[in-house]
């Protein structure tokens, strides 16, 4: 809604949706396109597969750990201002990455600047989308476009990145990102902030530090699995203590009548909690599969960037087909059914991928499994987001949007860190570590299925009544 409480017209809402969806596309693209550049970047910057893995994981992790604090800052600074500021920061990071002379500079440009920029611009995407579309059908359609382009960006990242890398250089892929950012900024001129910013809104800096550092230690600990088991255990323990301290801190602030970084009330909604778990696992599966298959193709099978990217076309088409059908599926099936079906199809896809790749060394053997994985993930990305966002009134959209995106990006980080670490731990063994990594992903798909079946049967069948607009 606008600041005056007027619902945007259909045409206005659609114009707003274009730059928001494109922003989600490019951020998801950035998370997966580097997978096909691993050999090229390693040789050019004199680094290793593990070094590139750290760069990718840090990008995803920084998005995750800053998403909640940045979502709160949208209330203070305004949603559009944070959106544009994030785009500018992202663009600077993309240009720096394109000219980076070393892995350290690439990490600053890609992992840090693009990661922080994404953390600022993504929460407004979901806040503005939720407020612009009030009923279930239109909101499902809008989230279908946003989440669909996000899934397509992640799935098409290897293909587009591979084409650019082979035709020009891996550096040109970052120039492509910067160019898209410029287009989004131009399209964003039509975006109007639905609620006025509130500069006096308190910000929980201590909570922001505890949550960010805690999540960092957890993911960084996972990355140490193949180097030092003791160090991994220590880092995970420190992360767990910091996250526990974070929850104690925000509960203490609430009891004292002070606004915390994240309201504990968000975790009292069982439906939202379950849907958040499914979101985390969906992105874990998407990014984990993308990284594992891309590394396997390049380091074990010896494929170049464009060959690897072309193989991922099957997954891209799968996500595209299911995303385009999101609105029609939302009318015919419950959100719970779609999420559960998505995990089943994804698990079957992983099984097919394992069976055919073991049986044949031909590139075409990857297509059926990747297509099924793309279909499965595309089917459930939109319903999960819709369930979470629709579980809360407008006053809490800033908080739940930040939490939702943080959980999803944390899943992306886990996917690259967990599955990637298993694979990178012993690339010389060829198929063995690839199979182990994919089996772990299949097991996590089964966990997602179990969680989705715990959702209420009427999940997503109605929209939470819109609350009276108040300054955020």
Residues 358 and 319 in one domain: yes
Spatial distance between the Cα atoms of 73 and 459, rounded to a whole number of angstroms: 30
Q: Are residues 228 and 288 in the same domain?
A: no
CATH, residue 23: 1.20.1250.20
Based on the fold, state whether residues 340 and 433 are members of the same structural domain.
yes
Residue ending a domain, among 233, 260, 287, is: 260
CB 405 within 8 A of CB 67: yes
Region for residue 195 given its phi and psi (left: phi exceeds 0; alpha: psi -120 to 50; beta: otherwise):
beta
Examine residue 298 and state whether it is found in any structural domain, yes or no.
yes
Q: pLDDT, tens digit, for every residue of 296-305?
A: 888 888 888 8
Q: 457 pLDDT band (50/70/90 cuts)?
A: confident
Same domain, 342 and 216: no
Is residue 313 one of the residues assigned to a domain? yes
The 10s digit of each residue's pLDDT in 180-194 is 999 999 999 888 887
Q: Residue 4: what pLDDT?
A: 39
Residue 6 has pLDDT above 60, yes or no: no
Q: Is residue 5 part of a domain?
A: no
The 3-state secondary structure of 85-143, one letter per residue? HHHHHHHHHHHHHHCCCCHHHHHHHHHHHHHHHHHHHHHHHHHHHHHHCCCHHHHHHHH
Q: How far apart are CA 173 and CA 185, in angstroms?
A: 19
Tokens of 16: 């707003």
- SS3 of residue 259 by DSSP: coil
DSSP string covering 287-349: HHHHHHHHHIIIIIS---HHHHHHHTHHHHHHHHHHHHTHHHHHHHS-HHHHHHHHHHHHHHH
What is the sign, positive or negative, of the torsion defined by CA atoms of 140, 448, 155, 31? positive
Please report the DSSP string for 335-364 in residue order: HHHHHHHHHHHHHHHHHHHHHHHHH--SGG
pLDDT class of 13 with cuts at 50, 70, 90: low
pLDDT at 183: 96
Higher pLDDT, 368 or 421: 368
Does 142 lie in the same domain as 283? yes
- What angle separates helix 10-32 from helix 79-98, to the nearest 10 degrees? 30
Domain boundary among 260, 277, 300: 260
Same domain, 88 and 137: yes
Q: State whether 234 and 383 are in the same domain.
A: no
pTM of the model: 0.80
Q: Which are the contacts of 276, defined by CB distance < 8 A and separation ≥ 6?
A: 388, 403, 404, 407
Same domain for 186 and 290, yes or no, is: yes
Q: What percentage of the chain carries pLDDT values higher than 90? A: 39
d(CA 44, CA 150): 29
> Which range of residues forms the domain containing residue 359?
10-192+261-453
**Is the pLDDT reported for residue 7 higher than 70?**
no
Q: Which range, 115-124, 422-431, 459-468, has the best average confidence (pLDDT)?
A: 115-124
Shared domain check, 241 and 213: yes
Residue 1 lies in a domain: no
Q: How far is CA 314 from the centre of its chain?
A: 20
Overall domain count for the chain: 2
d(C-alpha 377, C-alpha 364), whole Å: 21
Q: 162 with 273, same domain?
A: yes
Mean pLDDT of the chain: 85
- 90 and 138 within one domain: yes
């Amino acid at each position: 809604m606008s600041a005056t409480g007027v619902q945007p017209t259909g045409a206005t809402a659609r114009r707003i949706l274009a730059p928001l969806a494109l922003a989600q596309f490019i951020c998801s693209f950035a998370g997966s396109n580097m997978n096909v550049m691993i050999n090229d970047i390693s040789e050019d910057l004199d680094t290793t597969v593990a070094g590139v893995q750290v760069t990718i994981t840090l990008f995803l992790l920084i998005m995750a750990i800053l998403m909640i604090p940045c979502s709160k800052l949208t209330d203070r600074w305004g949603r559009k201002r944070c959106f544009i500021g994030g785009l500018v920061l992202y663009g600077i990071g993309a240009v720096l990455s394109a000219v980076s002379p070393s892995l350290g500079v690439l990490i600053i440009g890609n992992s840090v600047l693009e990661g922080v920029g994404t953390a600022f611009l993504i929460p407004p995407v979901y806040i503005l989308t939720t407020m612009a579309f009030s009923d279930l059908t239109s909101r499902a359609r809008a989230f279908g476009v946003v989440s669909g382009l996000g899934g397509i960006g992640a799935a098409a990242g290897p293909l587009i990145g591979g084409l650019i890398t082979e035709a020009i250089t891996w550096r040109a892929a970052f120039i492509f990102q910067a160019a898209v950012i410029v287009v989004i900024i131009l399209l964003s001129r039509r975006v109007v902030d639905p609620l006025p910013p509130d500069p006096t809104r308190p910000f929980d800096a201590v909570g922001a530090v505890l949550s960010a550092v805690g999540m960092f230690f957890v993911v960084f600990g996972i990355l140490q699995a193949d180097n030092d088991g003791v160090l991994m255990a220590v880092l995970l323990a420190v992360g767990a203590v910091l996250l526990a301290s974070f929850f104690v801190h925000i509960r203490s602030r609430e009891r004292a009548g002070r606004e915390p970084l994240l309201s504990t009330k968000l975790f009292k909604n069982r439906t939202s909690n379950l849907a958040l778990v499914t979101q985390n696992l969906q992105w874990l599966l998407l990014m984990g599969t993308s990284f594992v298959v891309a590394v396997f193709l390049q380091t074990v099978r010896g494929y170049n960037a464009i060959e690897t990217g072309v193989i991922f076309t099957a997954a891209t088409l799968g996500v595209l087909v299911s995303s385009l059908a999101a609105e029609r599926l939302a009318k015919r099936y419950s959100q719970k059914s779609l999420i559960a079906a998505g995990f089943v199809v994804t698990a079957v896809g992983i099984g097919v991928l394992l069976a055919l790749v073991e049986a044949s060394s031909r590139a075409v053997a990857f297509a059926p499994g990747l297509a099924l994985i793309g279909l499965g993930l595309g089917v459930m990305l939109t319903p999960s987001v819709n369930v979470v966002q629709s579980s809360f009134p407008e006053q809490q959209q800033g908080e739940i949007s930040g939490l939702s995106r943080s959980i999803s990006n944390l899943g992306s980080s886990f996917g690259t860190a967990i599955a990637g670490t298993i694979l990178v731990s012993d690339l010389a063994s060829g198929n063995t570590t690839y199979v182990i990594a994919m089996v772990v992903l299949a097991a996590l798909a089964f966990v997602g299925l179990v969680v989705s079946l715990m959702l209420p049967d009427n999940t997503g069948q109605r929209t939470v009544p819109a609350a009276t607009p108040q300054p955020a």
